[in-house]
Chains A and B, each alone.
Chain A
């Protein structure tokens, strides 16, 4: 780090970092220089000219933009001179000359930098008497975002975001001079997963969100900070509410996590919260139909039935699935309820995909998101981050693009990061271990040398055809090359990391403890033996070894790769209880359904993919009679005579900090005051269970002319998205992506119906000819409407139907 330099701003002297932009250095010392185009997360362009200041570096004062000039020793900055004032007033008068001043009907009114800076720095009146510029308005630039061009001040924030940050350069300036406008290219809408960020950073009301447009005045909104709903990195959001209804989410700039950015799914995913489809009362099945009943009736019924089954067959005959969609407090209550009330260790929050729970929960050294910034090499061998881990995708993209980090991408087809990769390796679905063996043998020239220095390995299940142990083997391989490599094991559902940390896995207990007798004295005697994971629970129900199952935010029929097995299991199950926010494909088999509180309807904590614990907050009441999971479980425990004594989420949080070793030191006070960006666990000392990934041999990949690649994409057909009217239409639907070569060979065109047949099942899909899919591979996005489940065997046949 070089020596600080001394600059003078408006007569006050400061020491600042050399090379810092004047606008940043001045702001850090309390001098705000007005600006429109400059944004701290993007490169300066110096276009709006609002930040003009006079700078003297020994050659007399020069009028320059503070956003493009770096400090040098001895620089004297004047932000108040007559010349500066003249320039500021002029720029504002120019900006307002053609601005429609339709503030009373503009979404941005009241939170608009143009209004605020016109108030603070403007001339107070306009001398413009000519006719203002007009455009057709609004024009949709994507399915979610509208553009009113006459409001635009041409600051290039949105266009820079799309090019520099998200890598979808689909909006650009067109024409020139006074008729310059932002627009999309013909037939290429701004179909980005990140389009909402442009609305967030627009300094005027030019870009507006369809879902929010004309819905509120900002001063009527109540705001509370929370963590977002879907993204496993848990970017911070500000939840904006009016009259008990969420109207929008705004990304909060958290340096270690998201830099303010959100995916569109996280930004607009709140729509399901106020969906009319939400469950509002307990439901009980009577004569085949679900009937609304009172809480006491439903709770008594479930408690008695569970008691009866436990008495007859013991805890080993019941199972608990789910818990990854709620808070850590909910997950803890569920974990404790299963082990101490239901007396069962058949507990799993996973869906049968992805690396092992031990690996996910307990790997050391685990990488932080910010580790990618300073890495020498990042390996991504896992899901296409753009589809499943959107803010991590942006961070890795930035590292490769702006920070010079080498990026190695291994995936069965093209991914969103390929254009920034130093090295791309493809493998055929199911052939991951074969590729790994070749890598180990040094068959890829220059590759092993890339795994030196600071290495971050982001690993997960790239394809349903991957063997479950592949991700861990990759991590083990990287460790073998670079002993200090940091590992980031990926799973896809929002709070899976928190749920595993709370012990929602047959081999784990809260606080990253391996499951076993005597491991958690606070819970007393634990059920013996290895519990069942989700696949084994489904099998146990199918074979009727298990009698009852409790589903907590779990939908094994709608969201697994064995839907018919899950449906059969639930049909055969003697007793199915569900705690959920919606009716779904699985709880249609339930005997009793409890309505649960959801996002923004309860307080608690969540844990993200790097082990960062953050606070989530309640800002709206849960609909109808719905309640938090933990409260429902606590009531059941009381009726069943083994009361857990849980009476508030805050109290559960304290209990977690007491009994879960990795969570010692976590408190809401800490998260609300000293650790606003969250705290990484374990914060005090080591975690009891430390998992070191090892490379194991895996199965040989299948050889067939065509192999099936299945993976999750951003927009799915889960029940929450089905209840999000803005997002659900963006799902690709039942499609099969094939390479141009294969399409030619098969005689398929775009939108041809093709039949895809595997050893496990078959279905009809609309063909999409896709350059990112290599020849010999068929890509079928998982969890799409109407898409039949094809199983995990990648050998596939494709024929054209029409």
Chain B
């Protein structure tokens, strides 16, 4: 638990002005972008591959491998996904707000590596202050010649445009984000092509990276890929950010080393459950992730261990629920979110999520029937066949299958609590 801080170091050490370009440069900022100018695409891709950096937007896909898929057509584009919308996730907000230049430098490195001369930062519209900070940072970088024509006096041009989202969770999905950026409806695109690196923005090769992902890049170049990879536990390299919320004494963002357990996270780092209450369940990786219960407390927080237990680390949002939490109501709240955010293009997600929401609301409000949990499981089955993990989706994108995670929890751990609702004609808690 004594891992070095990487992406939050500056904001921890200099809370007053970590977002300013002066502080950024005084603490080594933009040196790596300058360095990257002199590197070839292959060198950069290999370095990032060697670092083992995984995408931090939720899918945990190798960032270097993603870059290596860039198709030969040009122009290529870089898009920074700052549409952080997964309920419980607020790590990118802090990176954008408190260390925007780190993200800008990461963007420059990404653009150099991917031969892109135009990058877009797609920030969710609700992030007013982060967007202001990012725009200010970009303006400062332009003024210094780090962006725009001939950056750092090289022959490399890079324009960066900030785009604010219109308020749709689905625009965090990279292809929906690209549609939105193009001015179309924010709907995920069909796969294949599986990666925008083949056909993305304006059907041209596009690298979409998360804020935290690119914020790691200056450090990977500074530390060297091997040292960065050395901060590893099993296959997870570097550090990771977790947004801890819910029934914990010390909620907030934490930059953590890999390999700690959930017990350490919730009870040591998070300070345990307030009021001495019992832990009932937690969502380990954002609202999309299948839930964990106390039997999972001693699992290590790694990609593999979490997947083996049937869930995911996703966007690093941990939502803790204590014994006073009604699981039906919690499930209804999460599913209501997904039903509200479903883009509506595919049938199972559009119809299924709303149906699930209606069933759960009925149970919570006292009109539940004994068959309703099995009905909800049956409806979920039509969105995510057999509730398998990883999901066998009947949909275009994972939003629909994400919405059934709470149903899986009710099915596996809280069947009795649902029945109690039915028997009591309402919520017994």
Contacts and interface: CB of A to CB of B under 8 A. Distances in A.
Interface of A: 44-50, 52, 63, 68-69, 83, 86-87, 89-91, 93-95, 97-98, 127-128, 130, 153-154, 156, 173, 175-180
Contact of B346 (A49, A97, A130): A49
Contacts of A179: 344
B115 interface: no
29 contacts: A45-B345, A46-B346, A48-B346, A52-B394, A63-B385, A63-B392, A83-B386, A86-B381, A86-B382, A87-B382, A87-B385, A87-B394, A90-B352, A90-B382, A90-B383, A91-B347, A93-B382, A127-B378, A130-B358, A130-B359, A173-B185, A176-B185, A176-B341, A176-B342, A177-B341, A177-B343, A177-B353, A178-B339, A179-B344
B382 A180 contact: no
A69 B353 CA distance: 26
B340 A177 contact: yes
B378 A177 contact: no
Nearest to A153: B347
A111 to B, nearest CB: 21
A753 to B, nearest CB: 41
B381 to A, nearest CB: 7
Identify the interface centre among B344, B351, B385: most chain A CB within 10 Å of its CB.
B351
B359 to A, nearest CB: 8
Contact of A154 (B190, B345, B352, B379): B345
A94 B382 CA distance: 9
A69 to B, nearest CB: 8
B33 interface: no
A93 B378 CA distance: 11
Interface string B356-390: 00110010000000000001001101110110000
Helix, strand, loop or mixed for chain A's interface?
loop
A47 B359 CA distance: 25
Contacts of B346: 46-49
Given A90-B383, A93-B382, A177-B339, A83 B345 contact: no
A318 B92 CA distance: 90
Nearest to A91: B347
B96 to A, nearest CB: 26
B395 interface: yes
B381 A94 contact: no
Contact of B348 (A46, A91, A175): A91
B197 interface: no
Given A49-B394, A176-B342, A68 B190 contact: yes
Contact of A47 (B339, B345, B354, B358): B345
Contact of A127 (B341, B344, B375): B375
Nearest to B186: A176
Contacts of A94: 347-348, 350-352, 355, 382
Contacts of A178: 339, 342, 344, 350-351, 353-354
Contact of A128 (B355, B362, B394): B355
Bin chain B's interface residue count: 35 or more
B164 to A, nearest CB: 18
B168 interface: yes
Given A63-B393, A83-B385, A130 B355 contact: yes
Interface of B: 168, 185-186, 190, 192, 339-348, 350-355, 358-359, 362, 375, 378-379, 381-383, 385-386, 392-396
Contacts of A63: 385, 392-394
Contacts of B393: 63
Nearest to A156: B345
A49 B343 contact: no
A127 B348 CA distance: 15
A41 to B, nearest CB: 18
A68 B395 CA distance: 13
A86 B385 contact: yes
Contacts of B352: 90, 94
Contacts of B379: 127
Given A86-B382, A154-B344, A98 B351 contact: yes
Contacts of A46: 190, 346, 396
Nearest to A52: B394
Contact of A49 (B340, B347, B381, B392): B347
A173 B379 CA distance: 25
B378 to A, nearest CB: 7
Contacts of B342: 176-178
Nearest to A176: B344
Contacts of A175: 344
Given A86-B381, A90-B382, A154-B345, 17 more contacts: A47-B396, A49-B394, A50-B347, A63-B392, A69-B192, A90-B383, A94-B355, A97-B355, A130-B362, A154-B344, A156-B345, A173-B344, A176-B186, A176-B342, A177-B353, A178-B350, A179-B344
A128 B350 CA distance: 15
A130 B357 CA distance: 11
A180 B185 CA distance: 12
A346 B28 CA distance: 96
Contacts of B340: 177
Contact of B382 (A48, A91, A153, A176): A91
A91 B395 CA distance: 10
A184 B382 CA distance: 32
Given A87-B394, A127-B375, A176 B348 contact: no
A46 B393 CA distance: 13
Closest 6 pairs (CB-CB, A-B): A90-B382, A180-B344, A94-B351, A177-B342, A178-B354, A130-B358
A90 B346 CA distance: 12
Contacts of A44: 190
A89 B394 CA distance: 11
A107 B396 CA distance: 32
B11 to A, nearest CB: 36
Contact of B350 (A52, A87, A177): A177
Contacts of A93: 382
A154 B347 CA distance: 8
A214 B234 CA distance: 68
Given A83-B385, A128-B355, A177-B341, A90 B392 contact: no
Contacts of B386: 83
- Max chain B CB contacts within 10 Å: which of A44, A156, A177, A180? A177
Contact of B354 (A50, A87, A177): A177
A736 B347 CA distance: 48
Given A87-B382, A87-B385, A49 B395 contact: yes
A48 B347 contact: yes
Contacts of A156: 345
Contacts of B351: 94-95, 97-98, 178
Nearest to A47: B345
Pick the most buried of B168, B186, B190, B395: most chain A CB atoms within 10 A of its CB. B190
Contacts of A154: 344-345, 347, 350
Nearest to B340: A177
B394 A91 contact: yes
A93 B392 CA distance: 18
Contacts of A97: 351, 355
Nearest to B372: A129
A68 B340 CA distance: 27
Nearest to A181: B344
A177 B395 contact: no
A89 to B, nearest CB: 8
Nearest to B396: A46
A180 B350 contact: yes
A709 B354 CA distance: 56
B371 to A, nearest CB: 8
Contact of B168 (A68, A87, A176): A176
A133 to B, nearest CB: 9
A154 B185 CA distance: 14
A381 to B, nearest CB: 33
Contacts of A45: 190, 345
B417 to A, nearest CB: 22
A49 B348 contact: yes
A175 B354 CA distance: 15
A175 B358 CA distance: 20
